[in-house]
Chain A
Amino acid sequence: MRIPLLLTALCVAANAGVSSAPPVAVLSSESAHYRQALDGFTEAWGSTVPVILAGQLPPPQAWAFVAIGSKAAARRWPQDAVVVSCLAPSASAGDAAALTRVSLLPDPTILVARLRALAPSLRVLRVFWSSESSRSDTEALVAAGEDQGLVVLSERVDPPSLLPERLRGLDGPADGLWLMPDPALVNEQNFATVREYAAARRIPFFGPTEGLAERGAAATVSVTFREMGRAAALALRAKLNGRPGPETVRAARVTVTVNDPAARAAGLGPTFTGADKVLP
């Protein structure tokens, strides 16, 4: 009689020990953007958490993780681990069946609504993407467009080096261009290519991170890295409380940034409805 009781007590104690272990944050690197997401995560979680880099081993008892960055998300997780990834556009469930992903893309419904408020004449939006991991977000954006009367035409560019050729061969209408937050596609060269293309046709070029407005995109509709970290904390807490939620979650707060000269050159304005920031 004593042995089962002892075993039960040990199991309860062990379980209590596991569930009380704090989540471990795994960072791809020490880069500032991953740190910003970690700050957001810590803020929403309510306390600091152990932090390791992608190449380091986690504490043996750790079973809940937030992976910040694709390199961090790509590691092999302990069996039954609960994992939420953010700032990891290349992440997929892979070996971690319980992976929840915080998307870089704002909620497509909100995104389409904010674009239409900003550009009322927007009827056809061309969306460029490349990696397979961007497919589901692109399809969500197409569906959100359909719901709100915006034709969103998906343009996959694979390999990314074909972007100029793809633009050259673009036929049919285009009232605006959107670059998905796809690391394979977003670089200085491709950005400049799309920006020049849009400028030549006087149509707005929209981007998914605020920094792109500073570089000449007409406007960006984005979620900050800190907000993504916050969303990761909320998703992880919900999962640990037995509410797994959807495989992909999105940060609630969206920021619209307008580059005034670029937007005016593209026929937007003079007032920018719904803009959170207007860059002179």
Chain B
Amino acid sequence: MHKFPLWVGVVLAALSVSAADAAEDDAFEFFREEAKVYTASRREESAWRAPVAVDVVTAEEIRAYGYASLADLLRFRAGLDVYDARSADGSRAIVSARGFTRDFVAEMQVLIDGRSVYSPFLGGVYWASLPVQMQDIERVEIVRGPNAALYGSNAALGVINIITRKPGRRPAGSLSASGGNRSAAASEAAEAGSPRGGLRVSHSYEEATGNPAPNGVGNANDFLHSNKLNLRASLSPDEATELEFLGGGSWQTLGVPGYAVDTRSSHAHDFLQLRAARDLDSAGSIEAVISRSEFRLSEDRFLSRPVDMRVYQYDAEALHRLEWAGGRASSVAGGSWRLSGIYSDQLFTGRPAQQNRVVRGFVHQSLHLTDRLTAAAGFSLEDSRVGGLQPAWQAAALFSPREDQTFRLSYARAPTMPPLFNKYGDFLLGATRFVGNEDLPPQHLSSWEAGWTCRALDGALKSDVTLYYLEIRDRIFSYVQSAGPPRVTAYDNRNRASARGVELSEEYAFSAGRAVFANYTFERIQDDKGPTDTFATDLRRGTPSHKLNVGGRALLARGFAGTVVLGYKDAYDANSSNRGTRRPVPRSFRLDSRVSWTPRPGWELFLAGMDLLQPYRVESADGTASPRRFEGGVSARFGL
């Protein structure tokens, strides 16, 4: 009997496996291709085939886990560092990607519906004061790693893109109220529309007694009264055109903890935005956005003296998306203009009005070289008052040996513009004078990244592994220029820092409403300067080396559902450059859990507990502790 060589059998077996896979994939291939058209018209991309690490949080997840704030939403995601921290000017959270954690992370861009909410004052974001409500969020896209070629400077460590809900085409609304041992909140929203357009209005109110002192007792003057109002209107004069108006604001009064005398700060952040988009049949689509925003801060004692500040920003952006070469190539090209400025008699003594104009052009190209290999590249050229002419670029290769697996390799360079205060500030605070450095050039970040993304078991299992190395040249730090009196603190950039890390993420949805996830992050930071920064920040220990989060959600019987998340953080040093303090934080666990009951569709009663393992836990250098929190509440949704 003639025997087939072994290799023939192996090849046949491999072919039969491939053929079976192909037949199975066919069941969804058509819908997948058609869905690309659907999502492309909404300017969405398939996250699992993005050239950089992307994590998406959907509205359904937000509701299931009951996230009460953006910080809560981001806390347990891979690659992010989120601390419950209070800065000296009323910021109530620190969020950073891939290390370099401090009060204001100048290297991270945050967008709400495409509009930058990055503050040009100190760099970074006033998270609690953003004019966006949790009930309005449709999804949050977290891009880890540089994306300056598409989003402009300051998108070096990552981009967080918050996308809000468009008004539906039928009347709908929601109401919710909750309360607990540390806060109370209420929100309401209503929307209505037709095939031609719609309108959504939402409002929320929150009142928090906030964090106690580090010993877990007493009131640390950490309170919050917050009102937020948002409006979104859309109009489609024809099938291909969409016009949108977005507007809203956030008005808050906050206690600033950590001082001997109670300090109060008020924030007001409002915006207007107009967006027009049109599909141009075979010529792709065009989109134009103009917006205006203003942030006003008034603090009765900024460390020791009253401070008022007004930050404004005008933006205009136009872009063109195009698919060509039979769909094998896609291009995005555009240009933007920004005028941002600040006015403060106290922070910019003698020259209270400071402005920055930015003009930028960018192009991004993706090319399917073969069915399995895709190349992507982007280039951006930006000219600004604070940074001069700055290029940014990125290049990536994606290899998909199978439909459900993608390997990616990318390199990017991204500039980070110095914040206006570092450049032009002049602030006398007690015996110290802070002076900007007008010669301060931008920071430059280079990043190498390799990743693997896989979907298996009918897409129920999603895996992502990312390895990265990044280097920041010309990193900005503060130093003592003269011992005084007054002591003069200035800024310089003769520094180099680097970070390397691994991010692992697994998610398995084993049936309707039942899913588990786990992610692990390893980060190591090197900093030439070490702990010699005037503000005592030591970046090398500023982020935990190891972080692990595991959690899940489940639909239980009789309308009950539950979620549980356990997070672990290694020890680190909490930095506050804003306060000039540092505090060692031991390793810690955090357990959050939530149980809800849905007696009828749309209604929900819930009980939630945060930080359940200990009565309080210190995780920042702000002079407060994060306490154990309990909340309960009810919500009703109609027509949504």
- Residues of chain A at the chain B interface (Cβ within 8 Å): 28-33, 53-57, 69-71, 74-76, 87-90, 92, 94-95, 131-132, 158-159, 161-165, 167-171, 181, 183-184, 186-189, 191-194, 196-197, 200, 209, 211-212, 214-215, 225
Select one of A28, A88, A188, A209 contacting B327, CB under 8 A: A28
Select one of A89, A165, A211 contacting B28, CB under 8 A: A211
Contact check, A168 vs B512: say whether CB atoms are below 8 A apart.
Answer: yes
Contact check, A167 vs B27: say whether CB atoms are below 8 A apart.
Answer: no
Give every chain A residue within 8 A of B282 (Cβ-Cβ): 54-57, 75-76
Alpha-carbon gap, A75 to B26, bound state (A): 26
Contact check, B239 vs A71: say whether CB atoms are below 8 A apart.
Answer: no
Contact check, B326 vs A192: say whether CB atoms are below 8 A apart.
Answer: no
Q: Does B30 count as interface, using CB distance less than 8 angstroms?
A: yes
Contact check, B24 vs A214: say whether CB atoms are below 8 A apart.
Answer: yes
Give every chain A residue within 8 A of B438 (Cβ-Cβ): none
The residue of chain A having its C-beta at the shortest distance from the C-beta of B166 within the complex is A159
Give every chain A residue within 8 A of B239 (Cβ-Cβ): 92, 94-95
List, sorted by A's number, 11 A–B pairs whose CB atoms are closer than 8 Å.
A31-B30, A33-B30, A53-B327, A55-B324, A56-B282, A74-B281, A183-B38, A187-B31, A194-B512, A197-B511, A225-B30
Contact check, B511 vs A196: say whether CB atoms are below 8 A apart.
Answer: yes
Contact check, B513 vs A169: say whether CB atoms are below 8 A apart.
Answer: no
Contact check, B458 vs A189: say whether CB atoms are below 8 A apart.
Answer: yes
Given contacts A132-B195, A164-B513, A167-B513, contact A74 B31 (CB under 8 A): no
Contact check, B459 vs A33: say whether CB atoms are below 8 A apart.
Answer: no
Q: Does B138 count as interface, using CB distance less than 8 angstroms?
A: yes
The residue of chain B having its C-beta at the shortest distance from the C-beta of A216 within the complex is B458
Given contacts A54-B327, A164-B513, A197-B512, contact A184 B38 (CB under 8 A): yes
A89 smallest CB distance to B (angstroms)? 6
Contact check, A215 vs B601: say whether CB atoms are below 8 A apart.
Answer: no
The residue of chain A having its C-beta at the shortest distance from the C-beta of B325 within the complex is A55
The residue of chain A having its C-beta at the shortest distance from the C-beta of B169 within the complex is A132
Given contacts A183-B38, A189-B458, contact A69 B33 (CB under 8 A): yes
Contact check, A215 vs B458: say whether CB atoms are below 8 A apart.
Answer: yes
The residue of chain A having its C-beta at the shortest distance from the C-beta of B22 within the complex is A32
Q: Is the interface of A mostly helix, strand, loop or mixed?
A: loop
Alpha-carbon gap, A75 to B511, bound state (A): 39
Alpha-carbon gap, A53 to B282, bound state (A): 10
- Residues of chain B at the chain A interface (Cβ within 8 Å): 23-24, 26-35, 37-38, 41, 58-60, 63-64, 138-139, 168-169, 195, 238-240, 279-282, 323-327, 455, 458-460, 509-513, 555, 559, 561, 598, 600-602
B240 smallest CB distance to A (angstroms)? 7
The residue of chain B having its C-beta at the shortest distance from the C-beta of A207 within the complex is B27
Contact check, A74 vs B58: say whether CB atoms are below 8 A apart.
Answer: no
Given contacts A30-B326, A214-B23, contact A131 B38 (CB under 8 A): yes
Given contacts A165-B60, A189-B459, A192-B459, 14 further A-B contacts (CB under 8 A): A28-B327, A33-B30, A54-B282, A75-B282, A87-B30, A162-B59, A169-B601, A186-B28, A188-B455, A188-B458, A192-B458, A197-B512, A211-B24, A215-B27
B503 smallest CB distance to A (angstroms)? 22
Alpha-carbon gap, A266 to B120, bound state (A): 61
Select one of A94, A131, A132, A187 contacting B459, CB under 8 A: A187
A43 smallest CB distance to B (angstroms)? 20
Contact check, B459 vs A31: say whether CB atoms are below 8 A apart.
Answer: no
Select one of B35, B59, B63, B512 contacting A193, CB under 8 A: B512
Contact check, B600 vs A158: say whether CB atoms are below 8 A apart.
Answer: no
The residue of chain A having its C-beta at the shortest distance from the C-beta of B39 within the complex is A184
The residue of chain B having its C-beta at the shortest distance from the C-beta of A29 within the complex is B327
Give every chain A residue within 8 A of B195 (Cβ-Cβ): 132
Alpha-carbon gap, A215 to B29, bound state (A): 13
Contact check, B458 vs A89: say whether CB atoms are below 8 A apart.
Answer: no
Give every chain B residue within 8 A of A54 (Cβ-Cβ): 282, 326-327
Select one of A92, A131, A159 contacting B59, CB under 8 A: A159
Give every chain A residue within 8 A of B459 (Cβ-Cβ): 187-189, 192
Contact check, B458 vs A74: say whether CB atoms are below 8 A apart.
Answer: no
Give every chain B residue within 8 A of A70 (Cβ-Cβ): 34, 37-38
Alpha-carbon gap, A177 to B280, bound state (A): 38
Give every chain A residue within 8 A of B510 (Cβ-Cβ): 196
What is the number of contacts between chain A and chain B, taking CB atoms within 8 Å?
156
Q: Is the interface of B mostly helix, strand, loop or mixed?
A: mixed
Select one of A31, A94, A168 contacting B240, CB under 8 A: A94
The residue of chain A having its C-beta at the shortest distance from the C-beta of B170 within the complex is A156
B57 smallest CB distance to A (angstroms)? 11
A229 smallest CB distance to B (angstroms)? 13
Give every chain B residue within 8 A of A188 (Cβ-Cβ): 28, 455, 458-460
Contact check, A90 vs B511: say whether CB atoms are below 8 A apart.
Answer: no
Contact check, A169 vs B602: say whether CB atoms are below 8 A apart.
Answer: yes
Alpha-carbon gap, A118 to B326, bound state (A): 42
Contact check, B34 vs A90: say whether CB atoms are below 8 A apart.
Answer: yes
Select one of B24, B34, B238, B561 contacting A69, CB under 8 A: B34
Give every chain B residue within 8 A of A200 (Cβ-Cβ): 511
Alpha-carbon gap, A19 to B333, bound state (A): 41
Contact check, A168 vs B598: say whether CB atoms are below 8 A apart.
Answer: yes
Alpha-carbon gap, A101 to B32, bound state (A): 20
Given contacts A55-B324, A87-B30, A197-B511, contact A161 B168 (CB under 8 A): no
- Central interface residue in B23, B34, B455, B510, by most chain A CB within 10 Å: B34
Give every chain B residue within 8 A of A194 (Cβ-Cβ): 512
B242 smallest CB distance to A (angstroms)? 13
B507 smallest CB distance to A (angstroms)? 11
Contact check, A90 vs B281: say whether CB atoms are below 8 A apart.
Answer: no
Give every chain A residue within 8 A of B455 (Cβ-Cβ): 188
Give every chain B residue within 8 A of A191 (Cβ-Cβ): 28, 458
Contact check, A171 vs B512: say whether CB atoms are below 8 A apart.
Answer: no
Alpha-carbon gap, A169 to B597, bound state (A): 11
Alpha-carbon gap, A140 to B598, bound state (A): 32
B161 smallest CB distance to A (angstroms)? 16
Give every chain A residue within 8 A of B35 (Cβ-Cβ): 183-184, 187
Contact check, B37 vs A28: say whether CB atoms are below 8 A apart.
Answer: yes
Alpha-carbon gap, A183 to B32, bound state (A): 7
The residue of chain B having its C-beta at the shortest distance from the C-beta of A166 within the complex is B601
A278 smallest CB distance to B (angstroms)? 17
The residue of chain A having its C-beta at the shortest distance from the C-beta of B459 within the complex is A188
Alpha-carbon gap, A29 to B329, bound state (A): 12
Given contacts A53-B326, A169-B602, contact A183 B555 (CB under 8 A): no
Alpha-carbon gap, A161 to B56, bound state (A): 12
A186 smallest CB distance to B (angstroms)? 4
Give every chain A residue within 8 A of B511 (Cβ-Cβ): 192-193, 196-197, 200
B321 smallest CB distance to A (angstroms)? 13
Contact check, B600 vs A186: say whether CB atoms are below 8 A apart.
Answer: no
Alpha-carbon gap, A214 to B33, bound state (A): 19
B600 smallest CB distance to A (angstroms)? 7
Contact check, B60 vs A161: say whether CB atoms are below 8 A apart.
Answer: yes
Alpha-carbon gap, A37 to B31, bound state (A): 15
The residue of chain A having its C-beta at the shortest distance from the C-beta of B462 within the complex is A189
- Central interface residue in B458, B460, B602, by most chain A CB within 10 Å: B458
Alpha-carbon gap, A188 to B29, bound state (A): 10
Contact check, B561 vs A55: say whether CB atoms are below 8 A apart.
Answer: no
B517 smallest CB distance to A (angstroms)? 14
A68 smallest CB distance to B (angstroms)? 11
B432 smallest CB distance to A (angstroms)? 51
Give every chain A residue within 8 A of B460 (Cβ-Cβ): 188-189, 192
The residue of chain B having its C-beta at the shortest distance from the C-beta of A130 within the complex is B38
Given contacts A95-B240, A168-B512, A171-B601, contact A33 B23 (CB under 8 A): no
Given contacts A55-B326, A183-B38, A192-B459, contact A75 B281 (CB under 8 A): yes
B172 smallest CB distance to A (angstroms)? 10
Give every chain A residue within 8 A of B27 (Cβ-Cβ): 209, 211-212, 214-215
- Central interface residue in B23, B30, B169, by most chain A CB within 10 Å: B30
Give every chain B residue within 8 A of A94 (Cβ-Cβ): 238-240
Give every chain A residue within 8 A of B64 (Cβ-Cβ): 165
